Amino acid sequence: MEVGLFIPCYIDQLYPQIGMASVAVLESLGVTPVYPRNQTCCGQPVFNSGCFKESEKLAKKFYTHFRGFEYVVAPSASCVHMVRHEYGNFTQNDPEFARLQSHIFELSEFITNILKVERLDGRFPHKVGFHQSCTGLRGLRLGTSSELNEKKGSKVRALLQSLDGIEIISLSRPDECCGFGGTFSIFEEAVSSFMGMDRLRDHQQAGAEIITGYDASCLMHIEGLIKRNKKNLRVMHIAEIIACAIS
Amino acid sequence: MDNKEMVLGNLQSVMIEEDASYPQYSHPHGGIKNPSESFKSILENVGGECFFIKSYAEFKNHLVTLDIYKSARNICVCPKELGKESVDINSVEKGHDLRNVDLAIVRGEFGVGENAAVWVDADSLKYRSVLFLSENMVLIIDSGKIVPDMEKAYELIDFKKLKSGYFISGPSKTADIEQCLVIGAHGPKSLTVFVIRP
Amino acid sequence: MSNHAKKAAEFLKDEERARWHDQSLWFLREKRDNASKSVPDWESLRETAHKIKRHTLANLPRYLEQFEENARARGVHVHYAFDGSEHNSIVLKILKERNVSRVVKSKSMLTEECGLNHVLQKNGIEIIDTDLGERIVQLLGEPPSHMVLPAIHRKKEEVGKLFHKYLGTEKGASDPTYLANAARAHLREIFLASEAGISGVNFAIAETGGITIVTNEGNADLGNSLPPLYIACMGIEKLLPYSRDLSVFTRLLARSATGQPISTYTSHLLGPQPGQEMHVVMVDNGRSDILKQEKFRKALFCIRCGACMNTCPVYRRSGGYSYNYVIPGPIGTVLAPHRGIKKYKSLPSACTHCGSCTDVCPVKVNLHDQILEWKAEVDVSGNLGFVKKSAMVMATIVLGNAVLLALVGNLARMIFRILPKPICNFITIWGRTRDLPDIPAKSFRKVYNERVMNEADHG
Cβ neighbors of C411 (< 8 A, separation 6 or more) are none
Provide the chain A residues 186-225 that lie in CB contact (below 8 A) with chain C: 186-196, 198, 220-221, 223-225
Query: Cβ(C296)–Cβ(C338) under 8 Å?
Result: yes
pLDDT score, position C153? 86
Q: A211 — phi, psi (to 5°)?
A: -105, 130
Check: CB of residue C288 under 8 Å from CB of residue C236: yes
Could you give the count of Cα atoms lying within 13 Å of B64 in the half-sphere of its Cβ?
A: 7
Rounded to a whole number of angstroms, the distance from the CA of B48 to the nearest CA of chain C is 11
Dihedral sign for Cα atoms in the order C445, C446, C448, C452: positive
C12/A188 CB distance under 8 A: no
Question: What whole-number distance in Å separates Cα of residue C53 and Cα of residue C66?
Answer: 16
Residue C439 and residue A54: Cβ atoms within 8 Å? no
Q: Which of C54, C78, C48, C75 is nearest to C64 (CA)?
A: C78
pLDDT at C459: 62
List chain C domain ranges.
Answer: 39-285, 387-457
ipTM of the complex: 0.97
pLDDT for position C2: 67
**A130 to A164, A168, B165, C33, C300: CA distances (angstroms):** 16, 7, 50, 21, 36
CATH entry, A2-114, from 3.40.50, 1.10.600, 3.30.160, 3.30.200:
3.40.50
How far is the C-alpha of C117 from the C-alpha of C138, rounded, in Å? 10
Helix (H, G, I), strand (E, B) or coil at B185: coil
Residues B79, B95: Cα–Cα separation, whole Å: 17
Q: Are C231 and C89 in contact (CB under 8 A)?
A: no
Q: What is the pLDDT at residue C235?
A: 98
Q: Identify whether the C-beta of residue A210 lies closer than 8 Å to the C-beta of residue A166.
A: no
User: Does B117 map to a domain?
Assistant: yes
Per-residue confidence (pLDDT) for residue C425, from 0 to 100: 87
Beta strands in C44-195 (DSSP E): 77-81, 102-105, 126-129
Give A7's contacts in chain C (Cβ within 8 Å). 444-445, 448
Cα C86 vs. chain centroid, distance in angstroms?
A: 23
Q: Which of A74, A144, B164 is nearest to C355 (CA)?
A: A144
Question: What is the extent of the structural domain holding B135?
Answer: 46-196
Q: DSSP secondary-structure letter at C281?
A: E
Interface contact C81, partner B, CB < 8 A = yes
The segments of chain C whose pLDDT lies below 50 read none
**Burial of A88 from C-beta contacts in 10 A (0-12 / 13-18 / 19+):** exposed
- Candidates C22, C78, C262: best to mutate against B (most CBs of B within 10 A) is C262
Q: How far apart are CA B186 and CA B131, in angstroms?
A: 11
Q: Which one of A194, A230, A231 makes the best mutation probe of the C interface by having the most chain C beta carbons within 10 Å?
A: A194
Q: Domain C39-285 adopts which CATH fold?
A: Rossmann fold (3.40.50)
Contact (Cβ atoms closer than 8 angstroms) between residue C187 and residue B184: no
Cα(C188)–Cα(C186) distance, integer angstroms: 6
**Domain ranges within chain A, ordered by starting residue:** 2-114, 127-246
Please tell me whether residue B152 adopts helix, strand or coil conformation: helix
CB-CB under 8 Å, C61 with B173:
no
| Separation between Cα atoms, residue A45 and residue C343, nearest integer Å | 24
DSSP string, C377-444: HHHHTT-S-HHHHHHHHHHHHHHT-HHHHHHHHHHHHHHHHHS-HHHHHHHSSGGGTSPPPPPPSS-H
A190-228 CB burial, b ≥16 within 10 A, e <16 = bbbbbbbbbbbebbbeeebbbbbbbbbbbbbbbbbbbbb
Q: Phi and psi at residue C346, in whole multiples of 5°? A: -80, -15
Please count the other Cβ atoms lying within 10 Å of the Cβ belonging to residue B62: 14
Largest CA-CA distance found in chain C, in angstroms, rounded:
99
Separation between Cα atoms, residue C72 and residue A120, nearest integer Å: 70
Chain B neighbours (≥3 Cβ pairs under 8 A) are C
Quote the pLDDT of residue C426.
85
- Decide if C250 and B169 are in contact by the 8 Å CB cutoff: no
**Within-domain flag for B169:** yes
Cα(C406)–Cα(C414) distance, rounded to whole angstroms? 12
Residue B96 buriedness (CB in 10 A; 0-12 / 13-18 / 19+): middle
- Count structural domains, chain B: 1
Residue B110 in any domain: the answer is yes
Contact C361, C36 (CB under 8 A): no
Instruction: Using CB atoms, pick whichever of C5, C314, C434 lies closest to residue A221.
Output: C434
pTM (2 d.p.): 0.96
Q: A88 CB near a chain C CB, below 8 Å?
A: no
Rounded CA separation C148/C152 (Å)? 9
User: Sign (positive/negative) of CA torsion C422, C428, C432, C438?
Assistant: negative
Cβ(C77)–Cβ(C277) under 8 Å?
Answer: yes
Measured at the CA of B8, the angle between CA B6 and CA B14, to 5 degrees, comes to 110
Residue B31 lies in a domain: no
- The predicted-structure confidence for C160-206, as pLDDT tens digits, reads as follows 999 999 999 999 999 999 999 999 999 999 999 999 999 999 999 99
Q: Using a threshold of 3 CB pairs under 8 A, tell whether chains A and B touch.
A: no
Give CA–CA dist B104/B121, Å, rounded. 15
Give every residue of chain A whose pLDDT is below 50, as ranges.
none
Question: Which CATH number is B116's domain given?
Answer: 3.40.50.10420
**DSSP β-bridge partners for residue C148:** none
Contacts of A41 in chain C (CB under 8 A): 399, 405
**Which helix (DSSP H) or strand (DSSP E) does residue B37 occupy?**
helix B35-45
Say yes or no for a CB contact (<8 Å) between C318 and A191.
Answer: yes
Query: Has domain A127-246 been given CATH number 3.40.50?
Result: yes
Of C45, C51, C263, the CB nearest to B27: C45
Q: Is C284 on the interface with B (CB under 8 A)?
A: yes
Residues of chain B with pLDDT under 70: none
Q: What residues of C are in contact with residue B169 (Cβ under 8 Å)?
A: 261-264
Taking one residue from A and the other from C, the number of pairs with CB-CB distance under 8 angstroms is 214
* Cα(C427)–Cα(C409) distance, integer angstroms: 18
C264: nearest CB among B13, B128, B169:
B169
Cα pseudo-dihedral B132, B133, B139, B142, rounded to 10: -100
Question: Which of C32, C70, C149, C221 is the best residue to mutate to test the B interface, defined by the most B CB atoms within 10 Å of its own CB?
Answer: C221
Q: Quick check: C223 and C198 in contact, CB under 8 A? A: yes
How many Cα atoms occupy the beta-carbon half-sphere of B7 within 13 Å? 26
